[in-house]
Chains A and B, each alone.
Chain A
Amino acid sequence: MKTTAELIADDPLWLSIIKVVAIFAFGVVMTLFMIWLERRVVGRMQHRPGPNRVGPFGLLQSLADGLKLAFKEDIRPVVADKWVYFLAPIISAIPAFLAFSVIPFGPDVTMFGHHTALQLVDLPVGVLVILACSSLGVYGIVLSGWASGSPYPLLGSLRSAAQVISYEIAMGLSIVGVILRSHSLSTSDIVNAQEGGWYFWLLPVSFVVYAISMVGETNRAPFDLPEAESELVGGFHTEYSSLKFALFFLAEYVNMVVVSALATTLFLGGWRAPWPLSAIDGGVLNTGWWPILWFVGKTFFFLFVFVWLRGTLPRLRYDQFMRLGWKVLVPVSLVWIVLIAASNALWNTPGVTTGQRLIFFGVGIVVLLVFALLLPDKRVADDEEFVPVTGSGYPLPPLDLSVPKSPPRRRLPAAPEPAEREMEPAAVAAADKETGDGSL
């Protein structure tokens, strides 16, 4: 039995080229499909049909849009930095595709008479490849904003740089949990290590941190501050048009697919069939070409969640977003890593009984509790006349603010309003009005 790395090393050159082309095609097709899926799903969530004219179910809409983009005029602002402006979209698109190379799509198969694995390369540092690619992808965004030579893109790119660097730390720390458990950085080894149980329930904290930081890492709603339409026009790609803009779009969607595929690999057992299916006929569904189906299915689950989040959540404010990254995700991951390391050490030390392990963890919990009790409470305002204020220093209206009845002469004598209506607080009435406006 050869390892995956050895299998792949035996590939002839033409097989590698086939794999490269297949991965590239997968990325592009997934992008076209994801744009369609996103518009359809968001449309459904907003009670409208979404694109449904071009091709069956509107499936060819993204292809048509892509063709249209290619024929648009390629505009370069006069003040733009020529070379950097040209390079930025390329720099952002290439690493996105590169990251695919270490994703295991399936186990050993026979392709054109060659026994090989459904993976382009299997490096001993596979996970780091993806992190390196995402850190190179930021260059594309940052440089595009700078090279455009106008303030909105620059603001967008600065936001993006800060955002991706911050969330990359949380993401790296969540991956550390997986590595501690699987004892390997290689993606195929991580999938193999999940034979006994998928990591999303064995390492729930890592999974949640990864899931949050992958949305931040890809600049998607609710973390899409670098391109926040309402604040920055289009953010870093405001000045881009035609194929350069298409490259940014491509990079964004391919990045989404990559982080979803990585989430599948790290936490959902990669190409492994889900539980009841994996038991059929001694695991026949985990061999041959079947696993691609499970892998793509799980990836689509994450991609759907991306769309779902976009359709549900409003964009975060920048400081809230950074606070979440630095003050919640990073400390939680650090504590979680210490826990995993401690349990690893306890379980791997020979001669430690289960009772001793439980005592050890009990002592830990007691220490934590005592520590939590010793922490001073948040200072409570003991001032009787204390008025809560907003961040800018203005007093907040009380939550139970009752609005006085409107004077009787305002009422129309023909159609008196019902009594409950008048008692309604102003805030509720305003909210009603807003939902009414929103449906426009």
Chain B
Amino acid sequence: MSALFLTQTAAQTAAQAADTVSTGEAIAFWILGPLALAGALGMLFARNAVHSALWLALTMLNLGVIYMVQQAPFLGFVQIIVYTGAIMMLFLFVLMLVGRDSSDSVVEVLRGQRLAAIVFGVGFAGLVVSAVARALTNVTSVGLAKQNTVNGGNVANIGTSLFTDFLFPFELTSALLITAAIGAMVLGFSDRNAKGVKKTQRELVEERFQGNRPSPLPGPGVFATANSVATPALLPDGSIAPESLSELIESTAKESLADDLAEVSGTADGPDAHALSGTKEDLA
């Protein structure tokens, strides 16, 4: 990678004829281009949502490096910091919170979704093709070599354009982003002190003592051989404590608890609980 930077710096300082593609740039393109394409395809076809996000990160990373090779180092690194570093990270964050095993549902909830997708997809492809075609035929490329040497270089020039010619769009974008952030906060923020949102510990304690069961619920599997949440607790008479059953998790079938039930109720063969010696097999 450093060799690329070196060729690029050399290109900047020498300010060579800008619209020729140097060997280094060509090599970089033929490595990065297929990788970016592979990332895009991988994103489309990966079954797992996190894998999809990772493929997309690969594409963004490659785009960033392509920008750097094309004499736009600031844009390239900002692409990596902002898109790969921050935005994709937020995507990953959400995907992880959702859960690793949740796969996308194949049921269509929006009617006519496929048709709309096809129409918009073809339209977008047409736009891209015509734009690229125009860029390849009607526009003579000049490159950034000249821009990167005047007025303090690449970074200073971007700063000047942002804060003079493009100040209004820039501020407009930031206003949009702030609105979005505040909107998300308003939607996501729940007032702790509002009634009926989340009870404090004190309220929970009072509620419990004024209710009909001050003691904690029986833990799962306390009297059985397992402490899994799926295993219900057994009462001293061998019956299942209904409070120990989870509402969310399917409990173990009662048949598989037969041994535990027998043991607790004292009908199992084996030594008496007060016996000093073990069974005959143990002694033998």
Contacts and interface: CB of A to CB of B under 8 A. Distances in A.
B74 A393 contact: no
Interface in B161-179: none
Nearest to B4: A121
Contact of B153 (A124, A128, A132, A138): A124
B92 interface: yes
A389 B201 CA distance: 12
A416 to B, nearest CB: 42
Interface stretch (A67-75, A157-165, A204-212, A343-351): A157-165
A135 B6 contact: no
Interface majority SS on B: helix, strand, loop or mixed? helix
Contact of A123 (B5, B54, B85): B5
Contact of B74 (A5, A6, A128, A392): A128
Given A185-B155, A392-B200, A16 B81 contact: no
A81 B100 contact: yes
Interface stretch (A7-15, A41-49, A243-251, A267-275): A7-15
Contacts of B89: 135, 138-139, 142, 161, 165
A322 interface: no
Contact of B9 (A121, A145, A392): A121
Contact of B13 (A5, A81, A131, A139): A5
Interface string B69-105: 0000110011011001110011011001100100000
B50 A135 contact: no
A128 B154 CA distance: 13
A277 B12 CA distance: 37
Given A11-B6, A84-B50, A139-B57, A161 B92 contact: yes
Given A13-B3, A128-B74, A165-B89, A136 B80 contact: yes
- Chain B interface residue bracket vs A: 35 or more
B81 A131 contact: yes
A172 to B, nearest CB: 8
B254 interface: no
**Main SS of the interface on chain A?**
helix
A425 B57 CA distance: 59
Contacts of B13: 5-6, 9
Contacts, number: 109
A143 B50 CA distance: 9
A338 interface: no
B85 A138 contact: yes
Nearest to B82: A135
B82 to A, nearest CB: 9
Contact of A5 (B9, B57, B64, B155): B9
A234 interface: no
Contacts of A145: 96
B202 interface: yes
B50 A392 contact: no
B93 A124 contact: no
Given A20-B2, A124-B74, A125-B73, A135 B80 contact: yes
Interface of A: 5-6, 8-9, 11, 13, 16, 20, 81, 84, 98, 101, 120-125, 128-129, 131-132, 135-136, 138-139, 142-143, 145-146, 149, 154, 157-158, 161-162, 165, 168, 185, 389, 392-394
3 nearest CB pairs, A to B: A135-B85, A393-B202, A128-B77
